[in-house]
Amino acid sequence: MSGKKSAAPKPDMTVKQFKETVIKHLRSTLGTYEEKASKQAWNQAIAASVNEFIFDGVSRTRKTHAGKDARAVHYLSLEFLMGRLMSNNLQNLGLYELADKAMKELGFELADILEEEPDMALGNGGLGRLAACFIDSMATLALPAIGYGIHYEHGLFRQEFFKGRQVERPDQWREFGSPWEICRPESEQVVKLYGYVETVYENGGSHKVWHPGRTMRAIPWDIPIVGYGGHNVNVLRLWESRADKFFDWDVFNSGGYVDAYTESVQAETVSKVLYPNDETDAGKELRLIQQYFFSAASIADVMRRFRNAHGNDFSKFTALNALQLNDTHPAIAIPELMRVLVDEEGISWAEAWKMTRETFSYTNHTLLPEALEKWPLRMIQHVLPRHMEIIFEINARFLKDEVETKWPGNDGIKRKLSIIEEANGQMVRMGNLSVVGSHAVNGVAQIHSDLVKKDLFPEMNELWPGKFLNVTNGITPRRWMKACNPRLSTLIEKHVDADWPRYLEKLTALKPLADDSKFQKEYMAVKHANKEDFVKVIKELTDVDVSADAIFDVQIKRLHEYKRQHLNLLYIMALYRRLLINPDYDMHPRVFIFGAKAAPGYYLAKEIIFAINKVAEKVNNDPRIKDKIKVVFLPNYRVSLAEKLIPAADVSQQISLAGKEASGTGNMKLALNGAITLGTLDGANIEIAEEAGEENVVIFGMDVDEVVETREQGYNPGHYYQNNEELKAVLDWLDSDFFTPGEPGLLSAVKHNLVDHDPYMVLADYQSYSDAQSKIDALYRDKKAWARAAIINTASLAKFNSDRSIQDYADTIWNLKPIKAAAK
């Protein structure tokens, strides 16, 4: 064991002082007092106390960056799935234990009070949560960075089940305000829309003037992002849309009370709701306006800051600014920057284009065709007439100067690479625009980045060798271990340096302990205690009784056919059938745990949820199987629920069809917390297997090459259905009324999709999956072998620290150096 040093400072505050501060805020900020205050009020009082540290950090960091004229990255993302902020902030400031003690002395459990905080669910899934982990890491690494997004009034919908079916309810994360945000009216921006473009001829030349049809206000709300150790506090700036003229007095006075509000209602709609679609193209004018609204406001903000420091000398612009596109959602920022540089600053096209390309970089998060954004050309022309002209110009120059030079006379390649797609009445391909307008393009796991080059943009890769890179995703160990798994963190800290949440490679010190039976027992006792806690959560949320001695087999992620929750379901049904046929069927008891939201308009995904719930109902109440299987579908899966479940998981199901899951990040969180991955060779699973060792994960199914081969040979799911007795039996079961008494056919959609189409080859991988599940069962029964594998997983995952991902971005894409904020 080496010397322990802590990266988290001990703040110069005592428990007594913390208590006093909380009570001060309870009285003077919340206007209540100890005897009367609700838990909600205590929560807010703690937040206000913590903010005394945080706000000071915000100003120190800002001042340092401004003073040094620092190069900064601006991370543009339509989604930031933050979850709760309190516990993370307390941890990163090193205040958690102090606050815990203080609250105990005041007669409360801190953990209880923390439950009062609503999740900040301004994202759908992996892509949004990645952005949240990344801004934590940027602050931790002291990188000058700012996250830009939308201040949605309603985040991702709250999910309820009614008779087994998903029902969506609005999310109200800031119904009573949020203590973490600071409104910055002084940095308000104006965003223009619609209208027409005029060519103005003057002094022998001409320039373009956009006469917008309407304008709206963008109001920034800053959420402080506390780096681990508390030295650096960056901000996440979220834009709220408001009507330009809050109220039209003329219309109001002439009797048009309702009309006077129309404009404000329309403008405020822009930041009203997060689109709940995950990996599908929303294709709505409002969504395009959301994308433009936050991109334009953010670029205006970057410009404002730059002009304050440098006036209109743009020679240093690219040296000081990097703009990162989190997927194509903010791609409209590329023509927006061109517009500002050319039309507003009078910079030549060639110069502006060079600056734009040097400034932008783009992360691709998916190969799924339905998620690659395309906008109808007519729509862009209508909403953003000047931008459409700019896109035409970018495209014309790209095709003429770059594509034609490389492939003279090749119209086929031109058609393929063009930013404009001629089919479907002309569409603008946002992926092509992003690649053309960026100096670097990265995928999110090695295999995904390879496929981006090979399958998605092969010609672009030939045109610009070196432009396409890989940055494997990561997760912040602060939230996903230190804060969410205190028992394991405490155990770890007995053996490794206290700064492991910053330097996760320190966990390799646990490897020699993997065979130590005392440590194995301690490690598994932690897992068991976490499971006992989660047994209560399951009971509370679903009223199902489960035993912590069973295997907790977990699949948590958005509901999507490619993620194959229905493969999991088929296996559950098969196990159930085996037990009905042979009540002595030898297996370790198992709890199958699902958490997943389906996009509200995604029919089959909702049918899969319904089928799982119906099978669960039957299985959970069948005395014949003696509780050997339990199935629970947790409603409203979200970050704060993940934080409770992940520490309790034994098995991590990562069973997407190979080639479809770009990376996955839940796979990293679960493995770090000691769950064994049951997965395909897809996304980051491959790298997890490399790091943890193939013997410590259970891999099954076709790999990418086999998937391609099977498809080329003409995939026929009916073949698997006909030739696998068990598979046929469980699929036919879905047609009966066994799970829906008196109502046969309610679950047929799932069966028929699989037998007749099976776009994600569930049936082809079924047998291999079932065999892999048997391996899991056998491994679990060998207690020492299981403990060993789990420990090795925890000890081996340093690569998936999001600090490493961000360091890669900083080194290979942003060329960004840390600047530590000055001390007080």
Residues with a known catalytic role: 365, 557-558, 563, 665, 669
Q: Which is nearer to ligand GL7, 133 or 191 (CB)?
A: 133
- Stretch touching ligand GL7 by CB under 6 A, among 230-238, 365-373, 502-510, 814-822: 365-373
- Stretch touching ligand GL7 by CB under 6 A, among 126-134, 304-312, 714-722, 748-756: 126-134
Separation between Cα atoms, residue 615 and residue 629, nearest integer Å: 11
Structure tokens at 323: 């703009």
Q: Which is nearer to ligand GL7, 643 or 687 (CB)?
A: 687
User: Among 333, 631, 662, 795, which residue interacts with ligand GL7 (rule: CB under 6 A)?
Assistant: 662
In the complex, the smallest distance separating the C-beta of residue 566 from ligand GL7, rounded to whole angstroms, is 18
By the rule CB under 6 A, 230 interacts with ligand GL7:
no
- Dump the DSSP string for 307-363: HHHHTT-GGGHHHHEEEEEESSTTTTHHHHHHHIIIIIT---HHHHHHHHHHHEEEE
The answer to whether 675 touches 524, Cβ cutoff 8 Å, is: no
Interface positions, 463-482, toward ligand GL7 (CB under 6 A): 473
User: Among 296, 352, 433, 444, which residue interacts with ligand GL7 (rule: CB under 6 A)?
Assistant: 444
- CB half-sphere exposure, 324, CA atoms < 13 A: 26
Neighbours of 669 (CB within 10 A): 30
- Dump the DSSP string for 584-645: T-----EEEEEE----TT-HHHHHHHHHHHHHHHHHHT-GGGTTSEEEEEESS--HHHHHHH
The answer to whether 171 touches 124, Cβ cutoff 8 Å, is: no
The answer to whether 203 touches 230, Cβ cutoff 8 Å, is: no
In the complex, the smallest distance separating the C-beta of residue 820 from ligand GL7, rounded to whole angstroms, is 29
By the rule CB under 6 A, 366 interacts with ligand GL7:
yes
By the rule CB under 6 A, 44 interacts with ligand GL7:
no
Q: Which is nearer to ligand GL7, 189 or 476 (CB)?
A: 476
The answer to whether 368 touches 659, Cβ cutoff 8 Å, is: no
Q: Which is nearer to ligand GL7, 181 or 278 (CB)?
A: 278
Helices (H), 700-757: 704-712, 717-723, 725-735, 748-752
- Stretch touching ligand GL7 by CB under 6 A, among 142-150, 417-425, 658-666, 767-775: 658-666
CA dihedral 749, 750, 753, 758 (to 10 degrees): 180
By the rule CB under 6 A, 682 interacts with ligand GL7:
no
Q: Which is nearer to ligand GL7, 125 or 164 (CB)?
A: 125
Separation between Cα atoms, residue 297 and residue 185, nearest integer Å: 13
User: Among 665, 685, 793, 796, which residue interacts with ligand GL7 (rule: CB under 6 A)?
Assistant: 665
By the rule CB under 6 A, 680 interacts with ligand GL7:
no
By the rule CB under 6 A, 430 interacts with ligand GL7:
no
By the rule CB under 6 A, 278 interacts with ligand GL7:
yes
Phi–psi pair at 8, nearest 5 degrees: -90, 120
Q: Distance between the two ends of the chain, CA-based, in angstroms?
A: 34
User: Among 431, 683, 701, 717, which residue interacts with ligand GL7 (rule: CB under 6 A)?
Assistant: 683
Residues in the chain: 824
Separation between Cα atoms, residue 210 and residue 765, nearest integer Å: 55
- Cα-only R_g, the chain: 27
Binding mask 606-645 for ligand GL7 (x = CB under 6 A): ----------------------------------------
**Chain position whose Cβ is nearest to ligand GL7:** 126
In the complex, the smallest distance separating the C-beta of residue 800 from ligand GL7, rounded to whole angstroms, is 11
By the rule CB under 6 A, 661 interacts with ligand GL7:
yes
User: Among 58, 130, 550, 797, which residue interacts with ligand GL7 (rule: CB under 6 A)?
Assistant: 130
In the complex, the smallest distance separating the C-beta of residue 131 from ligand GL7, rounded to whole angstroms, is 9
Dihedral sign (CA 539, 544, 549, 552): negative
User: Among 127, 554, 649, 699, which residue interacts with ligand GL7 (rule: CB under 6 A)?
Assistant: 127
Residues pairing with 235 in the sheet? 146, 224
In the complex, the smallest distance separating the C-beta of residue 101 from ligand GL7, rounded to whole angstroms, is 38
User: Among 154, 305, 339, 365, which residue interacts with ligand GL7 (rule: CB under 6 A)?
Assistant: 365
The count of residues interacting with ligand GL7 (CB under 6 A) is 18
- Stretch touching ligand GL7 by CB under 6 A, among 251-259, 384-392, 594-602, 655-663: 655-663
By the rule CB under 6 A, 126 interacts with ligand GL7:
yes
Separation between Cα atoms, residue 738 and residue 152, nearest integer Å: 43
Residues at the contact surface with ligand GL7, assessed by CB under 6 A: 124-127, 130, 278-279, 365-366, 371, 444, 473, 661-665, 683
